[in-house]
Amino acid sequence: MSTPADRPPPYGAPSPYGASSPYGPPDLAAQGQAAPGPTSRRRSPLAVTSFVAGLVTVLVGTLVTLVYPFILSASGYSPAVLSTVQIGNGFLGGIAGLVALVTGLLALSRRDAGTGLAAAGAALGGSAVLGVVVALAQGLLYRVV
């Protein structure tokens, strides 16, 4: 049978090993140091805006890609409807991509909190803007050839 001396001390009781226990965090107040608190560093609104706008470009592009076959069959493969859908997709993707790119680069240049979000938003926005530029170049090539 165990005696009271063999049992560990109850939770919250002072450690028999001194001021700090090797199994827990050090007692900073006993050492005269301030205890670390949670950091209240907030993410930059520009970084969040960039990331959300970048996600919008991806979601709009994905939605148009998924709905495109239904639009084709419902319109009877009308060139006017196809060009309207492509122009709308390019306009929405281009505007949201520009917003994501500009706000992401601004947030990165300010070195605010949330640089990961800003970098992701800038990358998504940059790829969307590049896609719009390539699509415009493709359209110009079709007119020339």
Angle at 68 between CA 65 and CA 126, to 5 degrees: 30
Does pLDDT of 24 surpass 80?
A: no
**Is 46 part of a structural domain of the chain?**
no
pLDDT band (50, 70, 90) for residue 90: confident
Does pLDDT of 13 surpass 80?
A: no
CB 121 within 8 A of CB 97: no
Pick the most confident of 4-8, 37-41, 94-98: 94-98
**Is 31 part of a structural domain of the chain?**
no
**Is 16 part of a structural domain of the chain?**
no
Q: Summarize pLDDT for 43-58 with one digit per residue, the tens.
A: 788 999 999 999 999 9
pLDDT at 129: 93
**Is 45 part of a structural domain of the chain?**
no
**Is 138 part of a structural domain of the chain?**
yes
Rounded CA separation 39/29 (Å):
19
Range of the domain at 103: 53-144
Identity of residue 6: D
Name the domain count of the chain: 1
**Is 35 part of a structural domain of the chain?**
no
pLDDT at 35: 53
pLDDT at 14: 64
Token output for 4: 């009271």
Q: Summarize pLDDT for 103-128 with one digit per residue, the tens.
A: 999 999 988 787 899 999 999 999 99
**Is 69 part of a structural domain of the chain?**
yes
**Is 130 part of a structural domain of the chain?**
yes
pLDDT band (50, 70, 90) for residue 25: low
